[in-house]
A and B are shown apart, each in its own frame.
Chain A
Amino acid sequence: MLKTPDGLIPVSDGHLIRTIHEHHDDNSSEPRRILTAMKPRTVLTLQVTLLLICAGLVLQFASSFPYPGPVVRPFLGPKERWPEQQIRAWAKNSQFRSDFWEFFTRDPVRTLPSDAGMLAPADGLFRFHEWRDGTQYVVIALSFWDVHFQWCPCDGEVLSIEDRGDTFMDGEGKAFAYLHEKVCPVQKIITLQTAWGTIRIRLITSISARRLKVFVTKGQKVKRGQKLGQILAGSTVVVELPSDLRVLPAVNTRMVGSETVLVREKVR
């Protein structure tokens, strides 16, 4: 029996001993040499540190479950990183985690298209397109992951800014868009006089959105693409247009505020 650094190895012939040692030396990589040179106590400290790091990672995973933990989050898209249920829970307490709030209040620079048409005032899903009393309503539903700033769809002048609504509701905005007398969610209605006629843009809040900001004032001349307002949490934007304008995007398509062309021409 011969004692080697790895333990007891039964060998009966010198050639084999040499072979084992050569083999061992050839494969001893730099990390392995460092580890064998270290004192057992140092190795143990290193090992315990590694085990503690792993335990910490597993604990973070477990404490965040079913929502993503901090290690996985950077590798996920916005919808997976901040799942809807988690955002709704935050909204109930009006307390959002800072990374989501930073994402939610992002203010991207939009490049105006060369097309001279009227632009979509907000990001979101083109949810409904309806006509009522000579007005067509373009209902854009904003999700939690959409940019919550709104932009002027075309050049014009602000005729009025009205406050409407008396309660906070959760919903898609379709039923709200036409409510004038009954209980309706909190809204701000911005009326613009433009070359396309008089258009109205409604910013509607929901249960998750308790504040509306408007960055223009009555009588102000506004430019296409100028920032109009901000909804502080997911909701709806409704554009009220004269009925003789042809709306280009199809229902259930996504709109990019200040980039998607909403109207290019009048109906002949």
Chain B
Amino acid sequence: MKLRGLFWKSGRFSWLFITAVIAGTALLLWFDWFWRTHDTSLSRFF
């Protein structure tokens, strides 16, 4: 019941769910930018 509440609330999506989706998308795009512009190879530590 609680899990469903995180996703759906009385005829609309939960704002928590919407926020999580927007944050996830933003994080994905940011990480896409980050690994393209920075040296992310682990070999530089060894």
- How many A-B residue pairs lie within 8 Å, measured between CB atoms? 47
In the complex, are the beta carbons of A57 and B25 less than 8 A apart? Answer: yes
Residues of B within 8 A of A (CB): 10-13, 15, 18, 21-22, 24-25, 28-29, 32-33, 36-37
Q: Is B25 in contact with A80, judged by CB distance below 8 angstroms?
A: no
Q: Are A50 and B36 interface neighbours, CB within 8 A?
A: no
**Assuming A76-B36, A80-B36, A80-B37, is B18 touching A47 (CB within 8 A)?**
yes
Distance A69 CA – B33 CA, assembled complex (angstroms)? 10
Main secondary structure of the interface of A (DSSP, over half): helix
Q: Are A50 and B28 in touch, CB under 8 angstroms?
A: no
Query: A residues 192-245 with Cβ under 8 Å of B?
Result: none
Q: Is the CB of B36 within 8 A of A72?
A: yes
A61 close to chain B: CB less than 8 A: yes
Contacts of B37 in A (CB 8 A): 76-77, 80
CA distance A35 to B13 in the complex (A): 13
- A47 and B12 within 8 A (CB): yes
Name A64's closest neighbour in chain B (CB-CB): B32
Main DSSP-derived SS at the B contact region: helix
| A56-89 to B contact mask, C-beta < 8 Å, 1/0 | 0110010000001101100111001000000000
- Residue pairs across A and B with Cβ atoms less than 8 A apart, 11 shown, are A40-B10, A43-B12, A44-B12, A47-B15, A50-B18, A50-B21, A50-B22, A58-B28, A76-B37, A77-B37, A80-B37
Q: A40-B12, A47-B12 are in contact. Are A57 and B29 (CB under 8 A)?
A: yes
Instruction: State whether the Cβ of A51 lies closer than 8 Å to any Cβ in chain B.
Output: yes
Chain A residues with CB under 8 Å of B10's CB are 40
Total interface residues in chain A, CB < 8 Å: 21
Interface set of A (CB-CB < 8 Å, partner B):
35, 40-41, 43-44, 47-48, 50-51, 54, 57-58, 61, 68-69, 71-72, 75-77, 80
The winner among B28, B33, B37 for most chain A CB atoms within 10 A is: B33
Q: For B13, what are the chain A residues with a Cβ–Cβ distance below 8 Å?
A: 44, 47-48, 51
Q: Which of A44, A51, A68, A72 contacts B21 (CB 8 A)?
A: A51
Report B35 CB to chain A, min CB distance, Å. 10
Separation in Å of the B24 CB from the closest CB of chain A? 8
A72 touches B33 (CB 8 A): yes
Please state if B29 and A71 are interface contacts (CB–CB under 8 Å): yes
Task: Give the residues in chain B near A72, CB-CB below 8 Å.
Answer: 29, 32-33, 36
Contact status of A68 and B36, CB under 8 A, knowing A50-B18, A51-B21, A61-B29? yes
Find out whether the CB atom of A44 lies under 8 angstroms from the CB atom of B11: yes
